[in-house]
Homo-oligomer: A and B are copies of this chain.
């Protein structure tokens, strides 16, 4: 039997437990050539999932009511109808929020190392890769640049902060609690952190910390914080639009008012999703993995246990109560599988 998290109704605001249901259904026994059955071991909880369950236009089809909540995961192959994967291999991919996933092997990444495979959902997965391409491909800050990073203590932001520091930039992080700001200052050792929940005004906080203006903004939130950054960005500044979490829980996206400054200041806004760089994932993962081994990159994981925790994990991510990469670890009822 397969347990899966299905979407009962589109959440209004922050996702709640009763927007979802856990159902059980038999696993279909017929396998086509190329297919495998994966026992899902870790489910990744990502901000993008909030977009997929909202039903909005995005880069993948939205989750329809009654179907499984989409998501990335890491698991172990238990049945294989392809020579490419063997029983026991660890794989990552869109396994979705369920205990077992029947999937074509071509849609999976075989993991190169079996040590901490759940890292391939975080620092070595799409959040780490998002940070990597945002910083190394798009932002490319140098030691003369001031870069501001929002959701700086999050799974993507925290890696981006460290990569930007490694390039010598002045890094200002924005986060939503004193704990997170302390983490940014004391553990990630960035130049300054702003708690946007207690700052009297984001505009003046930014002006104080970046008196000469902001060169680059790595935007994970959109909304008011973006508007405040626009008031403090330099002529010819760059905005890397990586996420808009401020809008993910509202029916209507949060408005941006200072768009005219994009013209007046000749700014460039580059939107991207990590999948644009799919063919370079392997190379990038190898670089990130090396940095992790050398302890040049540190990371935090926030792990919840059991498939029933998926709705709670989504809620935590959206309220910012998590500390580090949110992952749901599955405990399978049948240990022999």
Contact = CB atoms under 8 A, between A and B. Distances in A.
Interface of A: 51, 56-59, 222, 226, 231, 235, 241-244, 247-248, 252-273, 276
Contact of A244 (B56, B247, B260, B273): B260
B262 A269 contact: yes
A265 B271 contact: yes
B247 A253 contact: no
A7 B263 CA distance: 24
Closest 4 CB pairs of A and B: A255-B255, A262-B271, A269-B269, A244-B260
Contacts of A59: 235, 264-266
Given A57-B231, A268-B269, A270-B268, A241 B263 contact: yes
Given A267-B271, A268-B268, A269-B269, A259 B260 contact: no
A38 B170 CA distance: 48
Contacts of A255: 255-257
Contacts of A266: 59, 271-273, 276
Contacts of A260: 51, 56, 222, 244, 247-248, 253
B242 A263 contact: yes
Nearest to A268: B270
Contacts of A231: 57
Nearest to A257: B253
A271 B263 contact: yes
A259 B273 CA distance: 14
Interface centre among A253, A263, A267 (most CB of B within 10 A): A263
24 contacts: A51-B260, A51-B264, A56-B260, A57-B261, A222-B260, A226-B259, A241-B263, A242-B263, A244-B259, A244-B263, A247-B259, A248-B260, A252-B257, A254-B259, A255-B257, A256-B256, A256-B259, A262-B269, A263-B272, A263-B273, A266-B271, A267-B271, A268-B270, A268-B271
A266 B272 CA distance: 4
A51 B258 CA distance: 13
A253 B259 contact: yes
Contact of A243 (B51, B263, B265): B263
A223 B145 CA distance: 31
Contacts of A253: 257-260
Contacts of A262: 241, 269, 271
A285 B69 CA distance: 57
A22 B133 CA distance: 56
Nearest to A273: B266
Max count, chain B CB within 10 A of own CB: residue among A241, A260, A264: A260
Q: Which of A222, A226, A269 lies at the interface centre, i.e. has the most chain B CB atoms within 10 A of its CB?
A: A269
A235 B275 CA distance: 12
A113 B261 CA distance: 35
A277 to B, nearest CB: 10
A264 B273 contact: yes
A127 to B, nearest CB: 15
B264 A222 contact: no
Nearest to A58: B264
